[in-house]
Amino acid sequence: MDVKSYNEDIAPKLRSARGFLGALNNAIEKSGPEAKKQMSVIGWSQEMEKFLFQALDALEKSEKSKITRIQPMQYIDVVNLIVMAANNGILCRKGDRVFVSDSLGSERRYLLPIADAADKLMKDQEYQMVLVKELKKRGIEFALLSTTLEKMGGKSN
C-alpha cells in the first residue's frame, strides 16, 4: 500500500470509526436510564470505549507500517531537485549554509531534505566525489550543480 491509498482509504475509515465511538458515547450520556441500562447489559462501558479506541490506534499503527516506503532518491534526482529549487529561489545560501526560503511559510518543511542535501554537497568532499562519479556515468557534468550552488544567494556572506 502506498501513502495515497492509506490517505484515501484507511485514514477516512479510522476517522469515521473514532467519530462514531465518540458520538455513540455522547448519545448514551444524553439518553435516559433505560437506554443506559440496555447498553450496560450488552457490555458498553468506559473500559469498552477505551479498549475500542486503543484497538483503533493499534489498527492505525499496523496499517501505517504496511505503507511501502519510497526508495532512496537517486543522485541525479537530488541534483535535479537542488538545481530546480535554487533556480526558483526556493533554496538560498548564506555563507557556507544552504537553507529553504522563508517565503514558503509552513511548506518549508517539505523542502528541508533538499536543502540538507545541498548543504552536504557543499561541505562533504567524499559525498561530492560519489556524486560526480554517478553523474559522469549518466553523462552529466557536475559543473551545472556546482555553478548553481555558487549562484545561490550571490556571494558568500
The string of DSSP letters for 51-109 reads HHHHHHHHHHHHHHHTSPPPPPPPHHHHHHHHHHHHHTTSEEEETTEEEE-GGGGGGGG
Give the whole-angstrom CA distance, residue 150 versus residue 130: 20
Q: How far apart are CA 119 and CA 71, in angstroms?
A: 21
Total residues belonging to the chain: 157
**Cα distances (Å, whole numbers) of residue 7 to 20, 28, 67, 127:** 19, 31, 10, 35
Cα torsion 146, 148, 153, 157 to 10°: value is 10
Cβ count near 21 (within 10 Å): 16
Q: What is the pLDDT of residue 131?
A: 65
Q: Name the packing angle between helices 143-151 and 112-123 (round to 10°).
A: 110
pLDDT reported for residue 13: 93
What per-residue confidence (pLDDT) applies to 78?
65
pLDDT recorded at residue 71 = 46
Question: Strands 97-100 and 91-94: what pairing?
Answer: antiparallel
Tens digit of each residue's pLDDT, the chain (157 residues): 777 788 889 989 999 999 999 999 899 989 999 998 999 999 988 899 999 999 999 999 888 888 765 444 555 666 667 767 766 777 666 666 666 777 767 666 666 676 777 767 666 676 667 666 666 666 655 566 666 666 665 433 3
- Written as nine digits, the cell of 106 is 509552513
